[in-house]
Amino acid sequence: MKNLISFKLILISLLFIGCQEDFLEEPTSSIIDPETLLTSKTGAEVYTVGAYEATRNVIASNWPGWLNIWGVIAVDEVVLPGWSTFKPIYLHTLSPSDNIIRTLWENMYVSLNRVNSVVDRVGAMTEDQISVADRDKLVAEARFLRAIINFGLVSSWENVPLMKNETVSLENLEVGQSTPQEVYAFIEEDLIFAKNNLEATQGGGKATKGAAQALLGKVYLQMTGHPINDASYFAKAENELKGVIDSNVYSLVPYYPDIFTQDNEQNNEIIFSFGFDGPGMDQGGRIGTLYGPLGTSINGGASGNNWYVNWELAGPATGPGNTGNWAKGKGGKPRNNHPFAQPYTDDDIRSRNNIVKTHVNRGYMNGAIWPDDAMFGSIRREWKGNWKPWKWHNIRPSNWGNDTPIDEAYIRYADVLLMYAEALNGQSKLTQADADMTVNILRERARLFPDEVKDETLLPNLTVGTQQYNADEILSERRKELCFEGWRRNDLIRNGVYHEAINSSQPVWSNSGNPQPQYTPHEIRWPIPASELQINPELVQNEGYN
């Protein structure tokens, strides 16, 4: 049977409907006939919810989810132990037969078909079924979600089949690849339509005008680097991102740890996020357990302990919060800490919130130490090599398991501010005033602790300098502000420093190896899965993977 992307997995005429819990009161899970459903605005709204679930399931940090697999695992934010399932991604030893990459490719195209179904079928509804304004708004939401998936596809594989419509037949599915330029152009069309037909509100988990503008700005910014390499997109990115800033819809949360709590998950800093619910409702995510401290899950530990924080992010070799130069024998191991990858200082609230150094099953004197208790004061100690990401704090005791109820941010206002600074700097027009309202306002927030404001000398503001100096500072700030949120690989590739960044000097006993010596330039993208090449002769393997 002719088959492009394991379409045996796709239900051609039926869409599995799930919930985005922030804007539907009751979660639903059923198979619904579109022709029966799409007769009214209410039916179209329910049908569109399926597009949100489809996008969430492949982009959010589940297993495998694009933000985690592409944007965190193979960069300078974490290191993987030798037993990790994801080691080939981290070490850049991927082959076209890798099962994780194949699964993600298949899932992304299955989800893309579900979103295309919403675009096509809701878009075909007549005025006696739904008003033109309501129809276009729902189609705009779906086109925004389609842009998210296509942006993931083109970022990771570059040369991908561009599926513009729902697949309704298994015949004649031998579709060739489009160029990255063609895919980006289609993403641009979708996002322009979305921003022109969506409301300028925070959204509460739904697509909005600001979300479309923010993503379009991110897409334009990415197009300034590999593989498009067109600097004219800096100006286009600036225009879209300024629109988000000038909308006055979004603002920074004053205290950084409050951004990521369950009680505050739809705050004014969230431009778009993926909604989760749970536990025990099968609508939860995994950020509470993929990113968590060592120890048993009932104590708040991470299930599986899959990876550790890169020590070059966690802190400098000397000074406050000294992490030491760990190695057997004398002399220790040097740090890389490139200008574009500066470490946290321990007097950065983001370090305290995002990195846990405490083992939840062990106490230093009397019983177990809960990581929240260890964020401040002398109790914050260092278990060498055992530091873990912990941006989304678990409850005590934990019953989340792999069903974390916290929504996961896709784009935050802080991200927009840093992208705006980068867009200005790319045009050599970043002023000190611009730096103060973007990079420096984030550093000011990072100095805010519960009972004090840290001295500026411990986390100095950016003084605008040369274009390269500014670029390094902005890129380094993005890692500290947005770590584990899934954008680091795109950031490094866009700035042309991916190869330099993945040189890991972490001690081998908490690290499966150094990725850099195994990296070759073609691995800036992933291989097309071998199974897809076998079933579709129109596909061509990415260069270097043959």
Q: What confidence tens digit (pLDDT) does each residue in 101-133 have?
A: 999 999 999 999 999 999 999 999 999 999 999
> Within a domain: residue 364?
no
Q: In Å, how far from its chain's centre is CA 450?
A: 28
Task: Give the pLDDT confidence of 196-223 residue by residue, as tens digits.
Answer: 999 999 999 999 999 999 999 999 999 9
Question: 371 falls in which pLDDT band (50, 70, 90)?
Answer: low
Asked if 108 and 119 touch (Cβ cutoff 8 Å), the reply is: no
CA distance 55 to 27: 17
Candidate from 36-45, 199-208, 280-289 with smallest mean pLDDT: 280-289
Asked if 400 and 284 touch (Cβ cutoff 8 Å), the reply is: yes
> Within a domain: residue 437?
yes
Residue that wins the pLDDT comparison between 105 and 362: 105
Average pLDDT rounded to a whole number, residues 265-279: 92
Average pLDDT rounded to a whole number, residues 151-159: 98
Asked if 226 and 155 touch (Cβ cutoff 8 Å), the reply is: no
Which of 16-25, 56-65, 355-364, 429-438 shows the highest mean pLDDT? 429-438
* The pLDDT of residue 44 is above 50: yes
- Give, in degrees to the nearest 5, the angle at Cα 428 between 461 and 340: 50
Closest CA to 194 of 253, 150, 225: 150
Give the range of the structural domain holding residue 494, as residue numbers without chain letter. 415-480+487-499
Average pLDDT score over the chain: 86
* The pLDDT of residue 330 is above 60: no
* The pLDDT of residue 363 is above 80: no
Q: Phi and psi of 490, rounded to 5°?
A: -60, -40
Q: Phi and psi of 386, rounded to 5°?
A: -105, 15
pLDDT at 289: 72
This prediction has a pTM of 0.92
> Within a domain: residue 420?
yes
Closest CA to 170 of 312, 2, 394, 411: 2
Asked if 55 and 410 touch (Cβ cutoff 8 Å), the reply is: no
Average pLDDT rounded to a whole number, residues 371-399: 73
Average pLDDT rounded to a whole number, residues 331-338: 72
Which of 16-20, 117-121, 380-384 shows the highest mean pLDDT? 117-121
> Within a domain: residue 473?
yes
pLDDT at 235: 98
Helices (H), strands (E): how many in the chain? 19, 8
Task: Give the pLDDT confidence of 442-468 residue by residue, as tens digits.
Answer: 999 999 999 999 999 989 999 999 999
Three-state SS string over 108-137 comes to HHHHHHHHHHHHHHHHCCCCCCCCHHHHHH
Contacts of 475 (CB under 8 A, 6+ apart): 340, 341, 422, 491, 492, 495, 497
Other C-beta atoms lying within 10 Å of the C-beta of residue 396: 14
Task: Give the pLDDT confidence of 468-504 residue by residue, as tens digits.
Answer: 999 999 999 999 999 999 999 999 999 999 999 998 8
Token pair for residue 180?
A: 């990255």
Question: 23 falls in which pLDDT band (50, 70, 90)?
Answer: very low
Average pLDDT rounded to a whole number, residues 335-356: 90
> Within a domain: residue 207?
no
Average pLDDT rounded to a whole number, residues 531-536: 92
> Within a domain: residue 454?
yes
Closest CA to 106 of 531, 490, 534, 541: 531
Average pLDDT rounded to a whole number, residues 188-195: 98
Average pLDDT rounded to a whole number, residues 245-256: 98
Cis-peptide, bond into residue 227, ω within 30° of zero: yes
Token pair for residue 248?
A: 């006055």
pLDDT at 27: 39
pLDDT at 321: 56
* The pLDDT of residue 372 is above 80: no
Q: Phi and psi of 17, rounded to 5°?
A: -100, 130
* 3 state SS of 310: coil
When divided into structural domains, the chain yields a total of 1
pLDDT at 12: 32
> Within a domain: residue 520?
no
> Within a domain: residue 58?
no
Type of residue at 198: L
Which single residue is written with the structure tokens 């992304």?
108
pLDDT at 283: 78
